[in-house]
Structure 1
């Protein structure tokens, strides 16, 4: 086997919940087959079903083989997003994928999107040295925080492979701490970073909450009034509320994080009154908004600004893939949400029927909020089960808002690629009234089914009242 071809696989620890729909093995080009096991991940709160997830790390090229433990005949295979370019060949009883670059994929056999196989093929990880001086091993939970704080700044907590239960089910990680979740580690419970700084979570491990009472409404990770925080590589399964809830915080980086949710209000990454947030290379399949950007909410006050989301795969079994503006400080003058950028995003689906919550890209300010200076660029949207592509409306959503939003202005949608489907509704651009308008919206290089559209009608966009300077080029 060539030195450039490497492959690392990670056994699922005893006690973790597996899904056994498939028989899986993987090999480097020219190498020996290695068996893989799949985690169970539950999807779609409309009708919760059990899908599969595997992860491994590699360099070079690998082949992934999929066969079946019971009678099954394959007649169709789709690997999404299509932009990943993963090649597959199949016969009646076997599928082979050829993967030559890291990425996060959905393998859908016989057009089944709900018992599918999610494949997270990562780059070779640079793990910290487990036995270095001062490293703490499996020192988790609030009862361990005094021991952690006694170590020097930037101390490392190394969580080994295996199932680890968090006492009191939420661990509030102290400042100046790094937490490494080794591949094969499963943390049972939730994490929190509150009024802390310089906290970094990384590693291929899993944070799991499927064993908890859903009425706890626990986030996978809460970041509250914090600065200089990052999380990289981790997978969340069955969060009871948001996967990552960010409030009143600055300087957050989310890199290559994966999540699956199946409960009401189980959003992906939500931020309230946050600034300088970077989200990249992540995969979100959620039963509420995948990514939402708000102003004031709960104990957080002020607008949100300077948020960048790049190179992500979004799948909203409920609500929006990308949403902003609903919540703000309606008791005063509202908030401003500004300087937002989404770029190089694959949207695998939106499945939502409630009229207030349609929109793959939803700009819906309420609570006297203003949304301005937003860019959506290089967005690829697969055929929607049910939804609309663009929803740019100043709203008065009686479910949440005591007042309508104030304004939407200076928004650009550029290089947007849409695949038509029977579940797509007409996109909307509309103000609320003359005092609450929408203005200066540019649609540039909009493509539908491979062809560039020439006008708003061909883009399936309706422009309503209280709007100005709505252009397509």
Structure 2
């Protein structure tokens, strides 16, 4: 079934249907997976199949994948894993020296991949307020989580619905089960109104181990929160506007060891009224590291913007990230590492470090100050002190990059102070904007090694 974009989706207030038996949950007819001799359940969607081996420690894992069709080539990503599967007929075998999150692609087909998402077992706490047991299906509509409560999804359960925590400090959402949002949108298009996991005005939040799949809108959305820890989660969307994680008006957030496949932005930093007007506030101290990202056709892989309705966005680090695909969008805004300052804030001290990109079909770096259809502020902000260190495009095409400021008769904003240290494209270290095929307009002070390009005119 072809997925289409609805620019004006209905504001769905109740689930469209229920899933009551495992017979209604699609399993893969293409892949069979065995890990350390144990058969695994492989789930199916029209955009990907996925399996979640849950491990108790960091011991090696023997993986066998039986493919139920003929194929010529099988590629395992990320390349950093260094896995070349052994093949016997249509069976692929390989060993993981430690648990990892991988993608398997056959003959370059990006619509039939298998995601092998090894996840560490999350033990059940002594105190659990909302327990979802292994082997069971649940329909919760909207589960409202209160302050101090713990939600625990046991391995092997599937919960249909969404979670909402509002002014609820100390919330924990834990376990190795699956939160499925397919009931909140028509199968063939996006749905309006319900993030899969909405966390607003909450402090000291922990989210660990959970898999989120097929929401109709943004998936994991902390808004106006402080001290949020997100660890070892899997997020997979298949319809447009299906952002992976949107960190909106938050401070002190960490996202680690996670996998995100998004049909829009994978990781996005914003300040906006969605998920709540309280999230129109400054963003600082955000750390995203040790993650694997797959950006499908819409959106960006790693984005700051467009909606940034606050005074300051700063101290954000993206480190040790594998971007296995940034697919072609063709709608002007798509890119791998992007900042779109479409409102008033001062965006500064943003670090991109140890990032490996395997397929950049859109722009590599896309940084703009602009007035857009998403803008509400009438004043343009600034972008300064942006650092790129050990960033590499491993293969694929050589993408363009853009850094562009804003100038009108009554207003000017010129981004400045960009630092490029060991940026490598297709095996060649970049020493200038021209080598990077970068368009620079109304921007200043691009530093490559000891040389500065587009220096600001003192006049």
Residue of structure 1 equivalent to 2:131: 158
Correspondence 1:102 to 2:102: no
1:398 Cα shift? 2.9
Q: Of 34, 57, 65, which aligns to 2:38?
A: 34
- How many angstroms apart in 1 are the aligned matches of 2:122 and 2:359? 37
- Aligned in 2, Cα 1:237/1:458: closer, same or farther, shift over 3 Å? same
Report deviation, 1:13: 5.4
SS in 1 for 2:29: strand
Q: Residue 271 of structure 2: which of 269, 279, 295 is its match?
A: 295
**Aligned match of 1:78 in 72, 75, 78?**
75
Which residue of structure 2 aligns with residue 121 of structure 1?
A: 118
CA distance, structure 2, for counterparts of residue 83 and residue 268 of structure 1: 22
Query: Residue 315 of structure 1 is aligned with which of 291, 294, 303?
Result: 294
Is 1:281 aligned to residue 257 of structure 2?
yes
CA distance in 1 between counterparts of 2:394 and 2:124 reads 43
The corresponding residue for 1:46 is none
**Contact (CA 8 Å) 1:325, 1:371: kept in 2 or not?**
no
Distance in 2, Cα, partners of 1:15 & 1:353: 32
Partners of 2:89 and 2:70 in 1: CA distance:
5
Q: CA deviation at 1:216?
A: 4.8
Q: CA–CA distance in 2 between the matches of 1:194 and 1:277?
A: 17
Corresponding pairs, count: 416
Deviating more after overlay: 213-222 vs 88-97:
213-222
Q: Which residue of 2 aligns with 1:380?
A: 356
Task: Report the TM-score when normalising by structure 1.
Answer: 0.83
Question: Any conservation in 2 of the 1:370–1:406 contact (CA below 8 Å)?
Answer: yes
Distance 2:350 2:273 in 1: 21
Superposed displacement of residue 262, structure 1? 1.7
2:177 aligns with: 205
**Pair 1:420–1:97, CA change in 2 (3 A):** closer
The residue matched to 2:80 in structure 1 has which SS? helix
Distance in 1 separating the partners of 2:430 and 2:320? 20
Preserved CA contact (<8 Å) 2:304 2:340: yes
Is 1:248 paired with 2:224? yes
Residue 412 (str. 1) matches residue 411 (str. 2): no
The whole-number CA distance in structure 1 between the counterparts of 2:183 and 2:343 is: 36
Which of 207, 231, 244 lines up with 2:207 in the alignment? 231
| Inter-partner Cα distance in structure 2 for 1:38 and 1:159 | 20
Look up the SS of the partner of 1:83 in the other structure. Answer: helix
The normalised TM-score by structure 2 is 0.86
Tell me how far 1:425 sits from its aligned partner.
3.8
Give 5+ residue unaligned stretches, structure 1: 1-11, 28-32, 42-48, 136-154
Q: 1:40 Cα shift?
A: 1.6
1:342 counterpart residue number: 318
1:88, distance to aligned residue in structure 2 (A): 1.3
CA distance in 2, matches of 1:347, 1:463: 24
Deviations 1:257-313 (A, max 9, x none): 111112221111112211111111111101111111112434122111110000011
Distance, in Å, in 1 between the alignment partners of 2:257 and 2:122 is: 17
Return the alpha-carbon distance in structure 2 between the equivalents of residues 288 and 325 of structure 1. Answer: 13
- Change in CA separation of 1:352 and 1:297 when aligned onto 2, cut-off 3 Å: farther
State the alpha-carbon separation in 2 of the partners of residues 457 and 163 from structure 1: 57
> Could you tell me how far apart the structure 2 residues matched to 1:109 and 1:191 are?
35
Flag the 1:126–1:248 CA change in 2: closer, same or farther, 3 A: closer
Which digits, 9 at most, give the CA deviation of each residue in 1:342-394, with x for residues without a partner? 0001111122434541221111111122211110001111122x311101111
Q: Give the Cα separation in 1 of the matches to 2:446 and 2:32.
A: 52
Q: Partner of 1:180 in structure 2?
A: 152
Q: Is the contact between residue 119 and residue 176 of structure 2 (CA under 8 Å) also seen in structure 1?
A: no
Deviation at 1:404, TM superposition (A): 5.8
| Preserved CA contact (<8 Å) 1:74 1:94 | no
3-state DSSP of counterpart to 1:20: coil
What do the CA deviations read for 1:52-78 (whole angstroms, capped 9, x no partner)?
111113442222112234xx3232111
Q: Per-residue deviation at 1:316? A: 1.0
Q: Structure 2 CA distance, aligned partners of 1:15 and 1:420?
A: 40
Q: Deviation of residue 403 (structure 1)?
A: 3.5
Local SS of the residue matching 1:211 = helix
Note the alpha carbon deviations across 1:22-69, whole angstroms, 9 max, x for none: 122222xxxxx222220124xxxxxxx342111113442222112234
Contact 2:54/2:176 (CA < 8 Å) preserved in 1?
no
Distance 1:320 1:66 in 2: 31
